[in-house]
Amino acid sequence: MAGLESFLSAIGGFVISFAIIDVFWATLLGIVVGMLPGLTATLGVALMTTLTFQMEADRAILILICMYVGAIYGGSRSAILLNIPGTPANAATSLDGYPLARSGQAGRAMAIATTGSFVGGLIGMLALAVVAPALAEFALSFGAFEFFWLAVFGVLIAGQLTALDDPLKGWIAGFLGLFVAMIGQEGIHAVPRFAYGSTDLAGGIGLLPAMVGAFGFAEILTVMRQQSYEVVRGKVGSIWTGIRQAVRYRITAIRSGLIGTFMGLVPGVGEDMGAWASYAAARQTSREKNQFGKGSVEGLMAAETGNNAAVPGALIPVLTLAVPGSAPAAVLLAAMIIHGIRPGPLIMIEFPDFVFSVVAMVFLATCAMFVLGLLLTRPLLLVLRVTRERLMPVIFVLCTVGAFAIASRTFDVWVMLVFGVLGFILRELKYPMAPLILGIVLGDILDKSLRRGLVLTDGDLTPFFTRPISIVLFGSALLFIILSMPGTRRLMARMLGGRRDGDGP
Amino acid sequence: MKASRMDRLDFVSAIVLTAFGIAVLVESLRLPRLDHLNVNPYTVPGIVPGMLGAILTLCGLAMLIRSILRGGWRLDLTADTIGGFVRSASVRRVALVLALTLGYALGLFGWLPFWLATMAFVFAFVVATEAMALGKLPPLPNIAIAAAIAAVTGAGVEFVFERLFYVRLPG
């Protein structure tokens, strides 16, 4: 009841203080950012963090959440109209959205995506309100041992799930991220590591310039490397029939919302896997399996519900464990710290109303996304007419200024450039970016937790493997490694194949 | 078995990664142990970076072995393959974009007034990339649009950051 009171009081506060204006412009900007190929939700939230860091905490976080929700939804537009996902989270959307658009039903596809995103956002929001306080209370029992395994587990699972074909590359990306976090003064004895006399390096690698580089500059290079794209022209079709149709698939929407929220909760995995897992589940259970990939309304609904449900899902570990559920959530975590909020197990004690304030922010952003998405279907199409040759230099200027603006340091511009070029090369070599960023965020937790744990036990490693939560986290991490080994995969495939043969008529 | 392009790239990146992992391990061992301060030996700064160096080395070796087994060590570096790579349109586009962006961020940003540096960069980027796509200088209306985008970006970004958000821009 106290939670509902805090939620309603936060909504009232935002409405009275005219923050609702911020909600609409930030969500609209998020939709535009998400629509444009080359601009991801992560970049949008990172650039907006540099613009809002002088604002009050509540206002700044509200704008960032609206940008996040808007961008993940906005990516569906380019997925449907260009067959290019606006953000990686919309890759599954293009499978059925683009065939629908090509058959003259773009309006219907966009309405289904909008309704799915709205439902997904609301389901995720409810989960955020229910799970976050409970998880924060549970996390109070976490000590150095548990946080160490949580960091290891986070990097391994993010590496595994963001590089399903080649988990080794996902893990390498995660370990590289952990190493980047080691650069600069360490937190126990203040010894500079890997600084080589540079005061800039001794200060450490900033998360925001690194993310602007890895998700902004690298994306510019990737977009410019590819062939230019063409917008689907012609009939947009009716929007309202799409909404009516979306209601038919309410069970798919609810299931996808729950799957998306869960995938958001898993460290570093986020919206992309939220969409893919929901899509796969919908296909598995559908009576119209053969329609998937050819313009299935159910498939489109599942993908868009799943990715938007993952947004509030990804905020749950941010608030309660200070571990991001996705790359944009990692930026939000950094933004919260900049604004003096300390996410983690103590959040319900130190900032009891903040969690419900975030729930209210997600609710307002989701409603604004629904209204803007339906009302501005046709005007927003104009955004996609901007060519990459005219858009990318403006984005690069924003990346450069954004990296510089946080601390007014030219060094941060260099960090952005290095991470941009490195990110581009790693992408070309099929290394995922999300575990790298998660590694940068978790590096400090892993470093301090291991050393504190060893001091507490005087070098005895036993508690790392015997405390109940540690066993679960360690066991899960080990299981993930074993399951992804080529030998295990072959064995499982053989066993499953054998069973299928046995089941046959 | 003929190795794929990715197997060959993995072979090269595995060598770089293994060398990097070893370098991290060695540098971690060289970090101060703070014996003179009598600190707890389990808190010395090199423990975690050293572990990461060892793990990166192992991962690099695993990938190296895998790429060798798949035939990735046959790099197929001939004058034709190198020439084909350098001449491909996508590589030329990336090289042009890299030259323009690095030139702006390292050469102009901070050295010229922000608005001037930004206008020059945006104009050059739009015209050069359009020229590459068309295979000739873009027509006059396109050049005028490039000039307009450059002017709006230079003035607009300076106004938003300096006047609205009080961020002092360099130059």
Higher pLDDT, B148 or B111: B148
Element (H, E) at A193: strand A192-193
Local confidence band at A505 (pLDDT 50, 70, 90 cut-offs): very low
Q: Which of A263, A291, A265 is nearest to A278 (CA)?
A: A263
Residue B15 burial (C-beta neighbours within 10 Å; 0-12, 13-18, 19+): middle
Residue A141 has pLDDT above 90, yes or no: no
Chain A residue nearest residue B165, CA to CA: A51
Using an 8 Å CB-CB cutoff, list chain A residues near B42. Answer: 451, 454-455, 458-459
pLDDT digits (tens, 9 = 90+) for A62-115: 999 999 999 999 989 888 887 778 777 888 898 898 888 888 888 888 889 999
Task: List A193's β-bridge partners, or say none.
Answer: A184
Mean pLDDT on A35-43:
83
The answer to whether the CB atoms of A404 and B170 lie below 8 A apart is: yes
SS3 string, B63-84, reads HHHHHHHCCCCCCCCCHHHHHH
- Answer whether B97's CB lies under 8 Å from A221's CB: yes
Using an 8 Å CB-CB cutoff, list chain B residues near A411. Answer: none
Name the minimum distance, in Å, from the CA of B9 to any CA of chain A. Answer: 7
Higher pLDDT, A240 or A213: A213
> What pTM does this model have?
0.86
pLDDT digits (tens, 9 = 90+) for A282-341: 998 888 888 888 889 899 999 999 999 999 999 999 999 888 888 899 889 988 988 888
What are phi and psi for residue A196, nearest 5 degrees? 50, 45
Residue A362 has pLDDT above 60, yes or no: yes
Local confidence band at A187 (pLDDT 50, 70, 90 cut-offs): confident
The answer to whether the CB atoms of B48 and A389 lie below 8 A apart is: no
- For every residue of A424-440, DSSP letters joined together read HHHHHTT--SHHHHHHH
Higher pLDDT, A269 or A368: A368
Mean pLDDT on A458-472:
89
Name the minimum distance, in Å, from the CA of A462 to any CA of chain B. Answer: 15
Measure the CA–CA gap between A75 and A126, rounded to whole angstroms.
23
Question: Would residue A133 count as lying in a domain?
Answer: yes
Spell out the residues 6+ positions from residue A82 whose beta carbon is closer than 8 angstroms to its own.
Answer: A37, A98, A229, A230, A231, A232, A384
Question: Would residue A505 count as lying in a domain?
Answer: no
Mean pLDDT on A12-16:
80
B133-164 burial code (b ≥16 CB/10 A, e <16): eeeeebeeebbebbeebbeebbeebbeebeee
Q: Locate all alpha helices (DSSP H) within A83-143, ordered by sequence.
A: 91-102, 106-139
pLDDT of residue A270: 80
Spell out the residues 6+ positions from residue B89 whose beta carbon is closer than 8 angstroms to its own.
Answer: none
A15-19, A62-66, A257-261, A332-336: which range is least confident on average? A15-19
CA A1 to chain centroid, in Å, comes to: 30
- Answer whether A159's CB lies under 8 Å from A167's CB: yes
Name the minimum distance, in Å, from the CA of B170 to any CA of chain A. Answer: 8
Task: Give the number of other CB atoms < 10 A from CB of residue A353.
Answer: 17
Using an 8 Å CB-CB cutoff, list chain B residues near A447. Answer: 48
Note which residues in 69-88 of chain B have CB less than 8 A from chain A.
none
Measure the CA–CA gap between A9 and A23, rounded to whole angstroms.
17
Q: How many domains does chain A divide into?
A: 1
Q: Is B130 on the interface with A (CB under 8 A)?
A: yes
Residue A499 has pLDDT above 60, yes or no: no
Using an 8 Å CB-CB cutoff, list chain A residues near B131. Answer: none
Measure the CA–CA gap between A268 and A437, rounded to whole angstroms.
8
The answer to whether the CB atoms of B45 and A221 lie below 8 A apart is: no
Measure the CA–CA gap between A313 and A198, rounded to whole angstroms.
39
Measure the CA–CA gap between A75 and B93, rounded to whole angstroms.
25
The answer to whether the CB atoms of B126 and A191 lie below 8 A apart is: no
Q: Which of B59, B164, B90 is nearest to A168 (CA)?
A: B59
Sign of CA dihedral A166, A168, A169, A174: positive
Q: Is B97 on the interface with A (CB under 8 A)?
A: yes
Q: Is B95 on the interface with A (CB under 8 A)?
A: no
Residue B50 has pLDDT above 60, yes or no: yes
Q: How many residue contacts between A and B have a Cβ separation below 8 Å? A: 150
The answer to whether the CB atoms of A224 and B94 lie below 8 A apart is: yes
Using an 8 Å CB-CB cutoff, list chain A residues near B10. Answer: 429
Question: Would residue A241 count as lying in a domain?
Answer: yes
Both tokens of A400, joined, read 């450069």
Both tokens of A346, joined, read 């103590």
pLDDT of residue A406: 78
- For every residue of A279-307, DSSP letters joined together read HHHHHHH-S-GGGTTS--HHHHHHHHHHH
Mean pLDDT on A263-287:
88
The answer to whether the CB atoms of B32 and A188 lie below 8 A apart is: no
Using an 8 Å CB-CB cutoff, list chain A residues near B126. Answer: 389-390, 393
Name the minimum distance, in Å, from the CA of A4 to any CA of chain B. Answer: 35
Note which residues in 5-44 of chain B have CB less than 8 A from chain A.
6, 9-10, 13, 17, 24, 27, 31-32, 34, 37, 39-43
Amino acid at A76: S
Q: Looking at residue B112, what DSSP letter applies?
A: B
The answer to whether the CB atoms of A393 and B109 lie below 8 A apart is: no
Tokens 């805090």, residue located: A6
Mean pLDDT on B91-97:
93
- Answer whether A177's CB lies under 8 Å from A440's CB: yes
Using an 8 Å CB-CB cutoff, list chain B residues near A428. Answer: 9
Mean pLDDT on A387-399:
90
Spell out the residues 6+ positions from residue A330 whose beta carbon is closer than 8 angstroms to its own.
Answer: A42, A207, A211, A268, A324, A437, A438, A440, A441
Mean pLDDT on A2-24:
82
pLDDT of residue A497: 63
Spell out the residues 6+ positions from residue A153 whose beta carbon is closer than 8 angstroms to its own.
Answer: A267, A473, A474, A476, A477
Question: Would residue A327 count as lying in a domain?
Answer: yes
pLDDT of residue A494: 77
Residue A327, domain extent: 2-500
What proportion of chain B, given as a percentage, has pLDDT over 70?
Answer: 98
Higher pLDDT, B159 or A380: B159
- Answer whether A292's CB lies under 8 Å from A301's CB: no
CA A59 to chain centroid, in Å, comes to: 21
Measure the CA–CA gap between A73 and A112, rounded to whole angstroms.
12
pLDDT of residue A235: 60
- Answer whether A372's CB lies under 8 Å from A27's CB: yes
Residue A220 has pLDDT above 80, yes or no: yes
Helix-, strand-, coil-residue percentages of chain A, each rounded to 5: 80, 0, 20
Question: Would residue A377 count as lying in a domain?
Answer: yes
pLDDT of residue A503: 42
Residue A424 has pLDDT above 90, yes or no: yes
Q: How many CA atoms lie within 13 A of A147 on its CB side?
A: 26
Amino acid at B157: V
Cross-chain CB nearest to A394 (options B46, B48, B122):
B122
Name the minimum distance, in Å, from the CA of A405 to any CA of chain B. Answer: 6
